[in-house]
Structure formats: C-alpha cells, structure tokens
Amino acid sequence: MLTAIGDMLNWAATGLLLPLLMLPLAAFIRNKRVAALFFLAAIAIVFGGASLFAILAADLRPPILSIGLIATCLAGVLGGAALIGANGAEALTRKIAPPIESIVRRVGRASLYLIIAMALAQFAAVILRYVFGLNFIAVQESITYLHGAVFLLAGGYALLTDDHVRVDIFYRDAPPRRKAMVDLAGTYLLMVPFCLVTLWAAGPYVANSWAVREGSMEQSGIKGVYLLKTLIPIYATLLLLAGFALATRAVETLRTRSA
C-alpha cells in the first residue's frame, strides 16, 4: 500500500517538476501560442521517453496507471500550457523563478545551523565518552542525522551558488554565451536524468522504510531512519528546483546576449 503511495508521490512529483523544467526552454520562443505548443510537445516527448525507460528498466517500476494520477498530471500540464498561452513562457518563468530559488536557498541555509549543531554534538559526545565513559547512542546517531541532513539539504543550494566543482580548463575563459549553453545542456542532459532516476529508485526504497517505520538497529537509538531516508528524494527534488533556476538564468543570458 505504502509502496503504491510512494510510487504515486514519485509520479506526482515528476508530473509537477517536468512541466516546470520545460518552462525555461519554452521561454526561448517569443510567440505565446507556439511556446504553449512547444511546451506540450516537449512534455509528451520527455514523458514518453521516461516511460519507455521505466518500462525497459522494469526494476524501477513502471508508472502506476491510476486514472486520478494521470488526470492530475494532465491537468497540471494543460494548465501550464494555458498559462503559457496567456502570459508567454518568458513572463511566467520570470514570475516563478525567484520564489523557487528562494525556497532552495532557504532550505540550504537551514543546514548552516545543522552544521554548528553537528560539531557541538560530536564534541559533547567526545567529552562524555573520553572523560566520563558515557556513550549515548542517541547522541551518536543524532550526529549521523545532522550530517545526512546537511549535505542532502545543501546540495541544491550549492548548485545555485556554483560550488559544485567544474573542470574549468575551457569553461573559465569561455564567453558568457558558451557558459550559458554548457549550463543549459548539462542541466537537461546530465543533471535532470540523474535526479529523476534517483527519485524513481528512491521511491520504493523510502516507501519500504516508511512501511515498517524503520528505526535504529539499537535499542536506545533514534526511531527515525525512515525520515532520514526521506531526505533522499527531497535532495533530488531540491536539485531539480535548483536546476530550474540555473536553466532560467542560462536562458536569460542566451536571450539577452543574442538580442
């Protein structure tokens, strides 16, 4: 049951995120109606390709053909198309990019406090262990939780701040247009597939963990392993949102520089 819900959530996330990711591409097209059509076609192709992949990779679970789910996704896609038709893709992108970017930044900045907390907790554990001979499994485990939360929550943020290392032998001195092209192509061809596959593979993994409310192996450990594992799809989602912001910037660069 929970596995099915996990799948549904996955596909709902995909159903929402994919149209979002298609927006910056549609923003290349000035004609509102053509942009809307392009948007629909792109979604169809990506959904088709993704479904094909999911069917070939039977292990990653083919989509659940629930009518409600399909209806929701369809409504989202058609609604998106209608909005594009009315406002133009560029205006729409410009409207939603800042709030999305600020979500990713806020979540990433939450991890700043977790880092400090992690260092303090680890230090406290050291003092307790080496001076007083006390071991609290819960303290030890809380450090693991904090550690996981830090890098899983800050992954998307680091993409926005351009902290993920690049091999910049050629990139560094490239003109802004070429940089934008690399960012755009890389986001769609390299990063988005990775995030989607992570989402899909994590679905059943996390759902199984929820199903048994997976806790610590230790008696006095923290009973929240299922929550910790839930951070994995959240990580992929945040990366996708950051990817949207990155693509939007790249498209803007390409548009203004070419005009």
Partner 1 sequence: MEMFGANGFCLCGVTPWLDVAMIVVLCLLILAGYPVAFSLAGTALLFAGIGLAFGVFDPGFIRPLPQRIFGAVSNTTLIAVPMFVLMGVILEKARIAEELLEEMAKLFGSLRGGLGLSVTIVGALLAASTGIVGATVVTMGLLSLPTMLKRGYDPAFACGSIAAAGTLGQIIPPSIVLILLGDVISNAYQKAQLEMGVFAPKAISVGDLFAGALLPGLMLVGLYLAYQILVAVFDGKKTPAIPAEERGAPKEMIAVALKVLPAPLLLIIAVLGSILTGIATPTEAASVGAIGALLIAGARLSPSTGLFSGRMVVYFAAAAIVALLILTSFVDLRVGRVAPSAADQAAMALAAFLCALIPLGVIASGQSLVREKSLRPIADQTARITAMVFTILIGAAMFSLVFRGLGGEETIHRALAALPGGAIGAIIGVMFVMFILGFFLDFIEITLVVVPLVAPALLKMGLDPIWLGVMMAVNLQTSFLTPPFGFALFYLRGVAPPSVKTGDIYRGVAPFIAIQILALIILAANPGMATWLPHLLYD
Binders of partner 1 in range 225-244 (CB under 8 A): 228-229, 231-232, 235
Among 118, 234, 245, 251, binds partner 1 (CB under 8 A): 118
Among 133, 219, 258, 259, binds partner 1 (CB under 8 A): 133
For the chain, report the end-to-end CA distance as a whole number of angstroms.
53
| In the block, residue with structure tokens 């070429």 | 178
Among 99, 167, 258, 259, binds partner 1 (CB under 8 A): 167
Nearer to partner 1, 57 or 71 (CB): 57
Q: How many residues bind partner 1 (CB under 8 A)?
A: 74
Stretch that binds partner 1, among 7-15, 39-47, 74-82, 149-157 (CB under 8 A): 149-157
Name residues contacting partner 1, limited to 89-108 (CB under 8 A). Answer: 108
CB 75, min distance to partner 1, A: 29
Among 182, 215, 221, 227, binds partner 1 (CB under 8 A): 182
- Rounded to the nearest 10 degrees, the angle between the axes of helix 192-211 and helix 225-258 is 160
Q: Write out the two tokens for 37.
A: 């059509």
Return contacts of 146-151, CB within 8 angstroms, 24+ apart.
146/114, 146/115, 146/117, 146/118, 146/121, 147/118, 148/228, 148/231, 149/111, 149/114, 149/228, 149/231, 150/111, 150/114, 150/115, 150/118, 151/111
Q: What is the CA radius of gyration of the chain?
A: 21
Stretch that binds partner 1, among 21-29, 80-88, 92-100, 161-169 (CB under 8 A): 161-169
Name residues contacting partner 1, limited to 35-74 (CB under 8 A). Answer: 53, 56-60
127 binds partner 1 (CB under 8 A): yes
Nearer to partner 1, 67 or 132 (CB): 132
Among 20, 83, 155, 180, binds partner 1 (CB under 8 A): 155
172 binds partner 1 (CB under 8 A): yes
Contact indicator for 230, 189 with CB cutoff of 8 Å: no
Among 71, 82, 138, 174, binds partner 1 (CB under 8 A): 174
CB 170, min distance to partner 1, A: 6
212 binds partner 1 (CB under 8 A): no
What is the spatial distance between Cα 93 and Cα 224, in angstroms, rounded to a whole number? 37
- DSSP one-letter string for 30-74: -SHHHHHHHHHHHHHHHHHHHHHHHHHSGGG-PPP--HHHHHHHH
Q: Write out the two tokens for 248.
A: 């939007």
Maximum Cα interatomic distance, the chain, rounded to a whole number of Å? 72
Stretch that binds partner 1, among 5-13, 67-75, 179-187, 251-259 (CB under 8 A): 179-187
248 binds partner 1 (CB under 8 A): no
122 binds partner 1 (CB under 8 A): yes
